[in-house]
Amino acid sequence: MDKPRDLDTFHLFAKPERKHEWETRAAALRTRIQLACGLLTDRRKCPLDPITTSTFESDGIRIENVAIQTLSGFWLCGNVYRPLSGGPFPAIVNPHGHWADGRRTREADVPRNPKGERLAAGRADLVQLAVSLARQGFLVFAYDMVGYNDTLQAGHGMAGTTTDWMWGVNLLGLQTWNSIRTLDYLESRPDVDRKRIGVTGASGGGTQAFILAAIDKRVQCSVPVNMVSTTMQGGCLCENAPGLRVDTDNVEFAALFAPKPQFLISCLGDWSKTTPTVEGPAIRNVYQLYGATESISWDQFPYGHNYNRESREAMTKWMCRWLQRRPDADVTEHPTTLNPERLRVFPSKRNVGLQSEKAVVAALHAQASSERKRFIARGIRGSRKWSDDAIRWLQTSLAVVPPSVLQSTTGGDAIIAVGREALHAARAAVKAGSSVIDIDISSIGSGIDHWKSYHSTYNRPVIGQKVAAIIDAWAKAQATHVRVSFVGLGDDAPLVVLAAALLGGKLTGKVYADFQSIDTDSDAYWASDRYAPGLRAIGDVHTAALLLRDNGSQLFGVRDVRSWTGCDQIVTNKPFDIGLLTPLART
């Protein structure tokens, strides 16, 4: 078995050869990002109810201290920087990285360091960044990470359990949702040109920039800084959502922005040092498929990790070129004396809305539960689109995509028996003429620490490994048999149901599963080796059963028939009757 990946493992996506192949891949990657962040397609938005706590003028611009409601009872705080008059303006959203003062960071730049000379210290002045952009005619919204400055209803280490993750509740998910809501906020402002919106951020803000640009079409220009790398992918939970980078990487995520204008800024003193020779050219390969190589570029500066003057000016030049059609703009920065204390949205703690991190996490769980119910309700009504969506979400959660197999026209029936109990049942019931294929998956992936080195972000979950083993057995059997059915008992029952559901129209046989009263309605059941990112949020075996309800499959021994809504014709609390397998030998 290959060594598990972690955040520092080198990974570079394969060069796509054809545009249509890339677009198929891109759709799957966006699904992966959305599932990892818990952002299902029908998420409902609460009113933003923006609050402006103060407005003042400084450095020839206007600054507004603002809070917006991104989740009912949760307030995201930030600062709007804009020209004194005119508009509507092109706008830029600016998430920050892990500097202690967040959006209020003011580190003094070191003297300019000519390229090719020794490495100089990295610095970041995020206040100067926003002031300079506003002076150039942009409206900027610089906003908090969760747990920074005024956005303190939850800490920056929230939602770190597998129970949270199986429901799609995690820190990256909340921060990405906040970023999406910042775009909603900008679109609500009459002084914003909604067709000219860009994003930039450095370090963890760079991660937010390319994630937002990848999944929200409203972003028209992107400048991620010091974060697009084939090695270190982000050192915080806010950059490592469960399931996010299974078989992919930050470079491929940045490529999702093609063919729109993107500028990669890197430095010699961190993990982005190979951008000009490795990451940049790899992304340019994707832009080439669109004939848009002029829309991708990069530059590198001889500093440590930073968002310093040279990096900021290079970013501003790119934004002016693409969002203002001013390629020759003079972007030389002029220092600001703005005191970052003036950028506080709430000078003291504000006791409104959700009162604690526990309450925030509970609200996110409640939202995920409601989304699951709506998704299941769609499945009960039934549609081709729902089936396609359900299979796509399940495949993404489990990180398993069934191979294409040419179905045999000879060879009779086969039964895949998963586990010793199922094998005994199948052999006792099936007469000569049918094949019984037994697989033992009990030893797969035991003892994995999902937290260590963000294992869950980069590797297929244990349950996915087990389902993949069942799918592999199916592929071999289907190549030599007309029909292939599945049998699983006890803890193997959910696995065969999930595996068969992933096959969709490729399934030629039936599923016989005896749940033996295991409690699949309980979060505790899906913990540990049965955990998969977002699996509970998308309906787990209930969704899988809905996908199988019209093909004659039967699920026995379910704990509570009433909880399997829409599956009445295939579920029962009665035990499995092995005599049901006998007809398979006679067809």
Judgement on whether residues 210 and 126 belong to the same structural domain of the protein: yes
C-alpha radius of gyration, the chain, whole number = 26
Look at residue 173 and tell me if it is in a domain: yes
Judgement on whether residues 229 and 305 belong to the same structural domain of the protein: yes
In the sheet with 262-269, reading across from the earlier edge strand, the strands are: 51-58, 61-71, 74-83, 139-143, 89-95, 192-202, 221-225, 262-269, 296-304
Judgement on whether residues 315 and 392 belong to the same structural domain of the protein: no
Look at residue 460 and tell me if it is in a domain: yes
Burial 507-546 (b: 16+ CB within 10 A, else e): bbbbbbbbbbebebbebebbeebbbbbbbbbbbbbbbbbb
Q: At what angle do helices 19-36 and 384-398 cross, to 10 degrees?
A: 80
CA–centroid distance for 318 within its chain: 27
Judgement on whether residues 302 and 430 belong to the same structural domain of the protein: no
List pLDDT tens digits, range 405-455: 988 888 888 999 999 888 888 887 676 567 899 999 998 987 777 778 899
Look at residue 347 and tell me if it is in a domain: no
> pTM of the prediction?
0.96
Q: Are 414 and 437 in contact (CB under 8 A)?
A: yes
Q: Pick the last residue of a domain from 362, 397, 423.
A: 362
Local structure of residue 151 (DSSP, 8 states): B
Judgement on whether residues 191 and 319 belong to the same structural domain of the protein: yes
Judgement on whether residues 231 and 314 belong to the same structural domain of the protein: yes
Task: Report pLDDT for 450.
Answer: 72
| H helix and E strand count, the chain | 15, 14
For residue 436 the two structure tokens come to: 């019984």
DSSP notation for 354-400: --SHHHHHHHHHHHHHHHHHHHHHHHHH--HHHHHHHHHHHHHHHT-
Look at residue 309 and tell me if it is in a domain: yes
Task: Report pLDDT for 587.
Answer: 42
Distance separating alpha carbons of residues 440 and 22, to the nearest angstrom:
36
Residue with tokens 């991620």: 224
Q: In sequence order, what are the beta bridge partners of 148?
A: 151
Cα–Cα distances in angstroms (integers) from residue 313 to residues 176, 300, 307, 459, in the given order: 26, 12, 10, 38
Distance separating alpha carbons of residues 87 and 137, to the nearest angstrom:
9
Please count the structural domains in the chain.
2
Backbone angles phi and psi of 104, in degrees to 5 = -95, 10
Judgement on whether residues 236 and 326 belong to the same structural domain of the protein: yes
Judgement on whether residues 165 and 70 belong to the same structural domain of the protein: yes
With residues binned 3-state (H G I as helix, E B as strand, rest as coil), the percentages for the chain, rounded to 5, are: 40, 20, 40
Task: Report pLDDT for 117.
Answer: 66
Q: Pick the last residue of a domain from 315, 330, 362.
A: 362
Q: Pick the last residue of a domain from 312, 329, 362.
A: 362
Structural domain that includes position 454: 382-586
Residue with tokens 């922005």: 257
- Taking phi first (over 0 means left), then psi (-120 to 50 degrees means alpha), and beta for anything else, what does residue 249 get? beta
Look at residue 467 and tell me if it is in a domain: yes
Q: Are 190 and 88 in contact (CB under 8 A)?
A: yes
Judgement on whether residues 324 and 258 belong to the same structural domain of the protein: yes
Look at residue 218 and tell me if it is in a domain: yes
Close Cβ partners of 260 (under 8 Å, ≥ 6 residues apart): 213, 219, 220, 221, 222, 295
Judgement on whether residues 326 and 388 belong to the same structural domain of the protein: no
Would you tell me how many other CB atoms lie within 10 Å of the CB of residue 269? 18
Look at residue 368 and tell me if it is in a domain: no
Low-confidence ranges of the chain (pLDDT < 50): 585-587
Look at residue 351 and tell me if it is in a domain: no
Judgement on whether residues 315 and 412 belong to the same structural domain of the protein: no
Judgement on whether residues 166 and 280 belong to the same structural domain of the protein: yes
- Give me the CATH number covering residue 30: 3.40.50.1820
